[in-house]
Structure 1
Amino acid sequence: MPHALVDPESVPVELRPYLGELVRRTRVICGDGLVSVFAVGSVALGDYRHGRSDVDVTVVVAPSVGAAELRELAESLGALPCPAAGLELVVYDSDFLGRPSGAAGYLLDLNTGPLLTNRVSFDSIGAQAFWYVIDRSIGYQAGCLLYGEPVRRVLAAPGRRELSAAISDSVREHADGMGHLADNQVLNGCRSVAFCREGRWSAKRVAARAIARSEPEFRALIETALRSFERPRAEALALPATEVRAFLAWVRESVDAFTH
């Protein structure tokens, strides 16, 4: 019997059985309405850290897939034990995903796993769109195909205006929002600035090393954030709050200069 994944070697070994079963269940539930499944986030960018990273998955379905199938999918995948810190899975209609958009636009948004708060949403109205726009941008650049149609055949890249707004909103959320680990605030800021400079998404650790080289005043903070990122989430290092705020203020200025 062929493997459930298009290319098992393209995903971290710790995730292969899980993602294979995720694809299998999704195929059973969606049937002929399943168009494509691909990984985004750290898996796509080659920086998955087992015990620290989430696994981010995008599912594309035909308009024929209805509410009953989506609810069954959420229940089935929510009951599947996740070996990563968590699963963040988003289902889109193929018609929506084939056009550039700055909206959230999902049919199903599922968060589950040992270190995530379980969440199921079938209505994207009022959702913070930047999370989804950035993931779609990463997917268009580097999406890791797990099943079905090639990524760029089903996914349109967000336009520059929509992506610029999403990056600005992301920076503000990580600076002002609650519940973010300090190391991730710093590394996400590095990734945002690196994208603005280079026009391509980098893995957080790659972006952080580049910013540490170019911005010596923040080098010590970034290096501490990198060391913290190597640890499990529960063992993250404490970063000086004043230095983190100063760095995030610089990130905001740098991103605003690019996006405006």
Structure 2
Amino acid sequence: MRAALVDPHSLPREVRPYLEDLVQRTRTVCGPHLVSVFAVGSIALGDYRHGRSDVDVTVVVDPALPGAVLHELAEALAHPALPCPASGLELVVYDSDFAERPSAEAGYLLDLNTGALLPSRASFDPARSSAFWYVIDRSIAHQSGRLLSGSPVRQVLAAPTERDLFAAILASVREHTKGKGHLSDNQVLNGCRSVAFCRTGHWLTKREAARAIAKTDKDFQPLIESALHSFERPRSTAIALPTATVENFLAWVRERVEEAAETIAR
């Protein structure tokens, strides 16, 4: 019997049974130490695309959870022990003491990447990871996290400070500029989302942000439209965008983020 989700009908039907199984396994492994489970990323923002999007999940546990249980949880949720129907699962576990305060650190107990299209990774050492990804994810979760089980998101998770968040956004733009391991359409769309956040203080979906930037910054409209067209395709058939054009766009994005970060720092 599957665990009941808080609001199953608000979740994409393609991953609803999977999330029910994930919650059930997490409850079984963590027992009374489990505090909360919620979806973040594209599911939280209402822009999940089957065949393209990952399933992003955050788990909050009591600090008294034995360390060995984290390894059990990683094994229980790993693909194909729990087959992931999406491109992959990106799951992060925090203890509640860490989660309830703003932080610029990665701070996780477990960072699990698994799935048919994701390189398998189970990290238990946050010092080995770039912190900015987690800061941004916690910001999105605090804004739009979709509760799956347990305590409400904002009761257990603090938003990062503005200073820490803008530093993280700038670091993410620098990372995407390197290009390594990133689809070019995702580089462009993440850049759009970063600029849109700097302008609005609100996280939009990648497609919403892209349309907004294409409307206001016409010079990049052809590139953004190409990125949106590619984003409609599965990852395996994504369209390669012109490298020089993408780099030029990301340099512009970096300037916009740096301007916003300087304003916050004053």
SS of aligned partner of 2:148: strand
SS of aligned partner of 2:56: strand
The answer to whether residue 20 in structure 2 is matched with residue 20 in structure 1 is: yes
More displaced 10-residue stretch of structure 1: 182-191 or 8-17: 8-17
Structure 1 segments unaligned to the other structure (5+ residues)? none
Is 2:2–2:20's contact at 8 Å kept on the other side of the alignment? no
* 2:68 aligned partner: 68
Letter in 2 for 1:77: L
CA deviation profile, 1:64-119 (whole Å, cap 9, x unmatched):
11111100000010021000000000000000000000000000000000110000
SS of aligned partner of 1:13: coil
* 2:6 aligned partner: 6
Residue 240 of structure 1: how far off its partner (Å): 1.0
Letter in 1 for 2:199: R
* 1:124 aligned partner: 126
Structure 1 Cα separation of the partners of residues 89 and 240 of structure 2: 26
TM-score, normalized by length of structure 2?
0.96
Structure 2 matches for 1:114-153, cutoff 5 A? 114-153=116-155
Residue 53 of structure 1: how far off its partner (Å): 0.3
Is 2:139–2:160's contact at 8 Å kept on the other side of the alignment? yes
Residue 10 of structure 1: how far off its partner (Å): 1.5
Structure 2 matches for 1:206-221, cutoff 5 A? 206-221=208-223
Structure 1 Cα separation of the partners of residues 241 and 43 of structure 2: 26
Structure 1 Cα separation of the partners of residues 2 and 179 of structure 2: 44
* 2:47 aligned partner: 47
Structure 1 Cα separation of the partners of residues 48 and 30 of structure 2: 28
* 1:170 aligned partner: 172
* 1:107 aligned partner: 109
Structure 1 runs (4+) deviating above 2 angstroms are 1-4
* 1:37 aligned partner: 37
Structure 1 Cα separation of the partners of residues 20 and 237 of structure 2: 30
The answer to whether residue 93 in structure 2 is matched with residue 91 in structure 1 is: yes
* 2:225 aligned partner: 223
Is 1:4–1:21's contact at 8 Å kept on the other side of the alignment? no
Aligned residues: percent identity? 68
CA deviation profile, 1:159-187 (whole Å, cap 9, x unmatched):
01110110000000000141100000000
Residue 3 of structure 1: how far off its partner (Å): 4.7
Structure 1 Cα separation of the partners of residues 137 and 3 of structure 2: 26
RMSD: 0.9
Structure 2 Cα separation of the partners of residues 229 and 196 of structure 1: 23
Residue 126 of structure 1: how far off its partner (Å): 3.1
More displaced 10-residue stretch of structure 1: 171-180 or 220-229: 171-180
Is 2:3–2:21's contact at 8 Å kept on the other side of the alignment? no
The answer to whether residue 192 in structure 2 is matched with residue 183 in structure 1 is: no
Residue 153 of structure 1: how far off its partner (Å): 0.2
Letter in 2 for 1:247: F
Is 2:2–2:24's contact at 8 Å kept on the other side of the alignment? no
SS of aligned partner of 1:105: coil
